[in-house]
Chain A
Amino acid sequence: MIKVEGLTKRYARATAVDNISFEVEKGQIVGFLGPNGAGKTTTMRMLTCFMPPSSGKAEVAGFDVVKSPMEVKKRIGYLPETPPLYPEMEVGEYLDFVGKLKGVPAGDLAKRVQEVAERCAVADVRTKLISKLSKGYKQRVGLAQAIIHNPDVLILDEPTSGLDPKQIMETRDLIRSLAGDHTIILSTHILTEVEQTCEQAIIIAKGKVMATDSVSALKNRRAGGSAVLVEVEATNEGQVREKLERISGVSRVVFKPVGTQGIVTFEVEGLSGKNIRPEIARAVVEAGWNLNELRPLGLSLEEVFLQLTSGAKPESAPAEAAPAAEEKESE
């Protein structure tokens, strides 16, 4: 439904989106995940024909965004970062206006407005001025606006930002309920949001795609981290650290002060793909200390996210082979 190839956007000073490629199948919900300034909004603006790409190609529903923007626009519903609302209009008037603008036939308009108002739970404020609405309602009017012409593709830029927890849950439910009929791309910098609402995640940072994964794979990655927590009965922190650092396959040892006399705790990270727990157990016991606890630490979602985004290693060079691969690429 959406096909992006080598899409690039250069501003006068910086490259906001750098040669990204991805595809989205019909009916999927895809999370566009990245920290501030990653280029999410810029990518979405190119997909919605708000701005043309500097280079590369993007197709929506089989139409090229540069060559046939009108066809693309007819098939896209877009909720920008700030909902595009006119405060001096009533909700019903506004939805009428957007419906006409998007080309909903005059005969169907009243019915469509009623439908989307109910679907987005704004039917009870139809005669209220938009300026008088709460933030959650405004967001839902923004969503209603995006689906009024029943588009094939929905593009939602941070649809839950600035909402309170209850409103966030409601909005996520609403978005999930829309997934059957529409192909959805939503952007966010909150990983749990992607986990809860999306099937597929595209992680971008600094304008590059870092990973494209199904959300379940993302969860696995999170469980499969090889960090362990080691708690040892010993008095000398330095000795224990030295011992742990000497174990082959250990990449990092971090002291975690617990405050109890005679107990030291470390977080030990191993090189990925290597089980370092037996080695640690043996080393500790051999040194004559009591091993109180040896527990694998799953990576938190945030850690997965940071790992993927901070290293700035694009997808083509997987983490393990990164140093070598990067060198080869740059040659």
Chain B
Amino acid sequence: MRGAWTICQKELHSYFASPVAYAVMALYALIFGFFFYSATAYFVEASMQSQMMGRSFPMNINEMIIRPVLMNTSVIGLFLIPMITMRLFAEEKRSGTIELLVTSPVSDLAIIVGKWLAAVLLYTTVILVAALSVIFLFAWGQPDVKPVLIGFFGLLLQGAGLIAIGAFISTTTKNQIIAGTAGFVISLLLWVIEWVSQFDTSTTGKVISYLSVVTHLEPFTKGVVDLKDVVFFASLIFLGLFLSARSLESLRWRA
């Protein structure tokens, strides 16, 4: 694994040397902020109404704000993650720097893990920047901390899986735009197949919806860590990294 950290640092350097990191961060924070604002406004409205009606059943901040905001932003992630992963290998293939990496005394796996880690760290930063707005909740209300942390952990895990898949897609082309578009389509697919479960309750329907990233993110947003969801995302990560390794190897046979 020697060299993985070196490559990770270099990747982070390139991210922050280009507008990509800042664009992704700003976009994400903006959209997250909007979701957060509308969910909070709705919550305030709803709680005022319930007070005026004289009913004061307890309203849950976690239920009504954190959860929908996390679910919505996970969808934004599907759009933004391809922006992070598209250049990982495609750009090195285009410019020929891949020859430097591959002829250096580091393993293919170290190269892949280094790049994947850099993208995950960038994504984490992006989420953290966006999550700053959540701090307001703690200033005003008393949401449970644990489910909030678990929710963000789920978001991160989902991102790490999609980043691994995006990295693999990036190994297959020299063209960043193609890598980005394909990554987006795959992400979208992994999201929408969840809808199948709504009209198809057969085993096929269950299997297909099992493959959806949304199915596995939902429990996290409720503050529930289920082993099978963690396993799902971990498998997604391994699959992506494994396919990247295969692809890098075959690139050398064909190159």
Contacts and interface: CB of A to CB of B under 8 A. Distances in A.
Size bin of chain A's contact surface? 20 to 34
Contact of A89 (B13, B95, B101): B13
Nearest to A48: B103
Interface stretch (A78-86, A111-119, A213-221, A299-307): A78-86
A313 interface: no
Given A50-B102, A103-B2, 15 more contacts: A45-B99, A45-B255, A48-B103, A50-B103, A52-B252, A73-B103, A80-B96, A82-B95, A82-B96, A84-B98, A85-B95, A86-B10, A88-B13, A98-B100, A98-B104
Interface of B: 2-3, 6-7, 9-10, 13-14, 17-18, 95-107, 252-255
A101 B102 contact: no
Nearest to B102: A50
B18 A88 contact: yes
A265 B69 CA distance: 91
B2 A78 contact: no
B1 to A, nearest CB: 13
Contacts of A229: none
A100 B110 CA distance: 13
7 closest A-B pairs by beta carbon, nearest first, are A84-B100, A88-B17, A73-B105, A84-B97, A100-B6, A48-B103, A101-B104
A73 B99 contact: no
A97 B10 CA distance: 7
A103 B7 CA distance: 13
A300 B34 CA distance: 75
A50 B99 contact: yes
Nearest to B251: A51
A50 B97 contact: no
B18 A51 contact: no
A50 B6 contact: no
A76 B103 contact: yes
B34 to A, nearest CB: 32
Contacts, number: 74
Contacts of B255: 45, 50-51
19 contacts: A50-B102, A50-B103, A51-B252, A51-B253, A52-B252, A73-B103, A73-B104, A74-B105, A76-B103, A81-B96, A82-B96, A84-B98, A86-B97, A89-B10, A89-B13, A97-B10, A100-B6, A101-B101, A101-B104
A61 to B, nearest CB: 13
A285 interface: no
A293 to B, nearest CB: 53
Nearest to B110: A101
A86 B6 contact: no
Interface string A38-72: 00000001001111100000000000000000100
Nearest to A80: B99
A81 B253 CA distance: 19
Interface string A244-263: 00000000000000000000
A102 interface: yes
A172 to B, nearest CB: 23
Contacts of B99: 45, 48, 50, 78, 80, 84
Nearest to B7: A101
Contacts of B3: 100-101
Given A45-B255, A100-B6, A88 B102 contact: no
A92 B91 CA distance: 21
B97 A101 contact: no
A270 to B, nearest CB: 47
A73 to B, nearest CB: 4
A328 B254 CA distance: 35
B105 A103 contact: yes
A184 B186 CA distance: 47
A145 interface: yes
Among A45, A81, A84, chain B packs the most CB atoms within 10 A around the CB of A84
Contacts of A193: none
A93 interface: yes
A52 B253 contact: yes
A93 B97 contact: no
